[in-house]
């Protein structure tokens, strides 16, 4: 029995209330809620009901077959599916089962859209310091977009050439939330935070020479930002930044609705 999305669950409850479905049949339909035990994983089919988006598959440490199996169980629920840090080989195996799945090679994400995109209010601005930071930035973009967000990108605008960033200030100030991705010393987040009146989510990357300590230098810079509107996620965690930014922008949409 496939997992159920929210609309299906509502339909089932209405059918029980109307007497069109008996209680035993309803119980059989709900047997994989709130989770389904696959032995090697317990797939959380209630995640979208609680959090607004289905469980996301983190691919490292899982076999290709495990990823494909989990992907399939989530897809059966009828919602969108996201897998992060996926290899090309893993994607090809997923695509064999789900031809509509798409792979972001830079961001290493697999996405499957099964629900029509809801038109978002406003947009998320995604800022990346250098080309070497794009893998993390693209992970953030793919995450936000599969969560129905419009994302504008402003790439290669690091502080070493500040004039490149200044050319995008007007566009950045129109966004409802920003994601700033930077390695090396990580100063870009503070600079951007001083230019806008909305939340800035800073993502330190592991890009840099030895004294950057695999992103620790950028992380500490961002945590010590003098710009009050800057918050920070973990090193290289573009997924978390994209997810949080989508949640923030959804709140803007609810207020307008």
Residue 4 in any domain: the answer is no
Query: How many structural domains does the chain have?
Result: 2
Question: Is cis: bond before 34, omega within 30 of 0?
Answer: yes
Q: Are residues 249 and 221 in the same domain?
A: yes
Contact predicate 189/202, CB 8 Å: yes
Q: Are residues 134 and 156 in the same domain?
A: yes
Q: What pLDDT is stored for residue 93 in this prediction?
A: 96
Judged by DSSP in three states, 84 sits in strand
Q: CA–CA separation, 93 vs 89, rounded Å?
A: 6
Q: What pLDDT is stored for residue 257 in this prediction?
A: 47
Q: Are residues 161 and 94 in the same domain?
A: no
Q: Are residues 144 and 89 in the same domain?
A: no
Q: Are residues 66 and 128 in the same domain?
A: no
> Where would I find the H helices in 19-100?
23-29, 47-51, 64-76, 88-97
* Radius of gyration of the chain from its Cα atoms, rounded to whole angstroms: 20
Residue 1 in any domain: the answer is no
Residue 6 in any domain: the answer is no
Q: Are residues 160 and 82 in the same domain?
A: no
Contact predicate 107/141, CB 8 Å: yes
Q: Which two tokens stand for residue 5?
A: 């999305």
Q: Are residues 108 and 133 in the same domain?
A: no
Q: Are residues 37 and 61 in the same domain?
A: yes
In DSSP terms, which residues pair with 37 in a beta bridge? 42
Q: What pLDDT is stored for residue 78 in this prediction?
A: 81
Provide the CATH number for the domain around residue 174: 3.40.50.1970
Q: Are residues 128 and 252 in the same domain?
A: yes
Q: Are residues 147 and 95 in the same domain?
A: no
Q: What pLDDT is stored for residue 2 in this prediction?
A: 45
| The model's pTM | 0.84
pLDDT averages per 10-residue partition of the chain, 257 residues: 52 78 68 70 77 88 95 88 96 95 96 85 92 96 95 93 89 95 94 95 95 94 94 97 94 64
Q: Are residues 201 and 101 in the same domain?
A: no
Residue 246 in any domain: the answer is yes
Q: Which two tokens stand for residue 148?
A: 């129905």
Boundaries of domain holding 160: 124-256
Q: Are residues 230 and 169 in the same domain?
A: yes
């Amino acid at each position: 029995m496939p997992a159920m999305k929210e609309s299906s669950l509502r339909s089932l409850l209405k059918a029980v209330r109307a007497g069109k479905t008996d209680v035993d049949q309803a119980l059989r339909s709900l047997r994989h809620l709130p989770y389904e035990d696959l032995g090697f994983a317990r797939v959380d089919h209630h995640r979208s009901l609680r959090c607004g988006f289905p469980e996301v598959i983190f691919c490292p440490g899982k076999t290709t077959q495990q990823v494909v199996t989990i992907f399939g169980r989530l897809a059966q629920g009828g919602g969108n599916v996201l897998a992060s840090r996926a290899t090309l080989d893993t994607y090809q195996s997923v695509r064999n089962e789900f031809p509509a799945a798409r792979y972001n090679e830079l961001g290493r994400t697999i996405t499957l859209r099964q629900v029509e995109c809801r038109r978002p209010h406003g947009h998320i601005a995604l800022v990346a310091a250098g080309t070497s930071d794009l893998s993390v930035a693209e992970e953030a973009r793919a995450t936000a977009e599969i969560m129905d967000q419009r994302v504008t990108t402003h790439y290669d605008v690091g502080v070493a050439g500040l004039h490149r960033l200044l050319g995008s200030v007007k566009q950045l100030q129109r966004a409802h939330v920003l994601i700033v991705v930077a390695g090396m010393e990580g100063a870009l987040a503070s600079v951007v935070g001083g230019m806008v009146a909305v939340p800035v989510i800073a993502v330190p990357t592991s890009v840099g020479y030895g004294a950057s300590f695999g992103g620790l230098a950028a992380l500490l810079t961002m945590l010590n930002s003098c710009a009050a509107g800057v918050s920070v996620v973990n090193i290289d965690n573009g997924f978390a930044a994209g997810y949080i930014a989508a949640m923030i922008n959804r709140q803007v949409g609810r207020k307008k609705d």
